[in-house]
């Protein structure tokens, strides 16, 4: 990977985080599920003055978070969300992790139970490049953002924006806000119909609330 590409990736990651952060009301209580090295939590704590908490699977990630002064628990979202009481957070965030969950639906249900709102961002498998790759090569798509072969990917539950909206409807949850980012990290024009988001959005972010 060239330095230029790394910068572009870092910039994209930054845009994604800023986009997420902009959806959080200042001063609220936030739980970031799968918080990695704590970048989003730190951004939220610094820019939005939130009470930031996290869950992270990897010991190295937790150590980095603790060193940043964040309250982060080593744990598994698939099994540990059950221990959080109802309504204990304003927002529960799942950033770029939905596709790695063993039970995405159960995880989202817990998020809606624990938080007033759930914010879910995920890579859109309905993006035209992915569709084109599968059509043209007949193989599982491997892209810059989804750079794993099928047999070693941690991403076991991909979905498209349409699939996600169907799941939200099925759960009876409400979409409070939604946005999609194209492959340059620019927001896809909000006036476009959802089917075009599904085609041009490389990433999607949804803010949900429960029944």
Partner 1 sequence: MTRHHVADPDKRNEAIEPSSLVAHFGADEPLALESGESLGPWSIAYQAYGALNADKSNAILLCHALTGDQHVANINPVTGKSGWWETMVGPGKPYDTDRFFIICANVLGSCLGTTGPASLDPKTGKPYALHFPVVTIRDMVNAQAKLVDRLGIDTLFCVAGGSMGGMQVLEWAASHPDRVFSAMPIATAAKHTAQNIAFHEVGRQAVMADPDWHSGRYLEEGTRPEKGLAVARMAAHITYLSEQALHRKFGRNLQERAAPTFSFDADFEVESYLRYQGRSFVERFDANSYLFLTRAMDYFDLAKEHDGVLARAFKGSKTRFCIVSFTSDWLFPTSDSRAIVHALNAAGASVSFVEIETDKGHDAFLLDVPELFETTRGFIDSAARARGLAVPMRRADA
Residues that bind partner 1 (CB under 8 A): 53, 59, 62-75, 80, 83-85, 88
Nearest to 92 by CA among 70, 74, 109: 109
Shortest Å distance, C-beta 65 to partner 1: 7
How many whole angstroms from its chain centre is CA 207?
11
**Measured between alpha carbons, how far apart are the two ends of the chain, in Å?**
45
Instruction: Give the β-pairing of 51-56 and 71-74.
Output: parallel
Q: Would you state the structure tokens that stand for residue 91, as one six-digit string?
A: 């927002």
Shorter beta-carbon distance to partner 1: residue 81 or 159: 81
Residue whose CB is less far from partner 1, 83 or 184: 83
Of 53 and 127, nearer to partner 1 (C-beta) is 53
Please state, in angstroms and rounded to a whole number, the distance separating the CA atoms of residues 184 and 76: 31
Nearest distance from C-beta of residue 10 to partner 1, angstroms:
16
**Helix, strand or coil, per DSSP, at residue 192:** coil
Helix axes 3-21, 39-47, angle to 10 degrees: 50
Between residues 35 and 98, which has the closer beta carbon with respect to partner 1? 35
Q: Which residue has the tokens 């918080």?
A: 35
204, 197 Cβ separation under 8 angstroms: yes
Q: Provide the minimum distance between the beta carbon of 136 and partner 1 in the complex, in angstroms, as a whole number.
A: 43
Single out the residue of 42, 157, 65, 52 nearest to residue 108, CA to CA: 157
Q: Which is nearer to partner 1, 84 or 122 (CB)?
A: 84
Residue whose CB is less far from partner 1, 49 or 71: 71
Q: Which helix (H) or strand (E) holds 165?
A: helix 161-171
Q: How far is the CB of 40 from partner 1 (least distance, A)?
A: 16
């Amino acid at each position: 990977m060239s330095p230029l590409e790394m910068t572009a990736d870092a910039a994209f990651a930054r845009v994604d985080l800023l986009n997420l952060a902009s959806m959080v009301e200042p001063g609220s209580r936030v739980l970031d599920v799968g918080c990695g090295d704590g970048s989003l939590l730190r951004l939220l704590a610094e820019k939005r003055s939130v009470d930031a908490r996290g869950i992270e699977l990897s010991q190295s990630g937790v150590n980095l978070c603790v060193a940043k002064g964040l309250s982060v628990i080593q744990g598994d979202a698939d099994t540990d969300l059950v221990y959080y009481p109802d309504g204990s957070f304003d927002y529960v965030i799942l950033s770029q992790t939905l596709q790695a969950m063993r039970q995405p639906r159960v995880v989202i249900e817990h998020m809606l139970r624990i938080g007033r709102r759930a914010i879910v961002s995920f890579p859109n498998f309905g993006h035209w490049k992915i569709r084109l790759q599968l059509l043209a090569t007949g193989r599982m798509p491997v892209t810059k953002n989804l750079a794993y072969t099928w047999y070693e990917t941690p991403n076991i539950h991909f979905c498209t924006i349409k699939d996600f909206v169907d799941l939200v409807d099925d759960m009876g949850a409400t979409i409070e806000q939604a946005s999609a980012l194209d492959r340059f990290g620019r927001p896809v024009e909000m006036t476009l119909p959802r089917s075009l988001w599904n085609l041009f959005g490389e990433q999607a972010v949804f803010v949900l609330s429960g029944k």
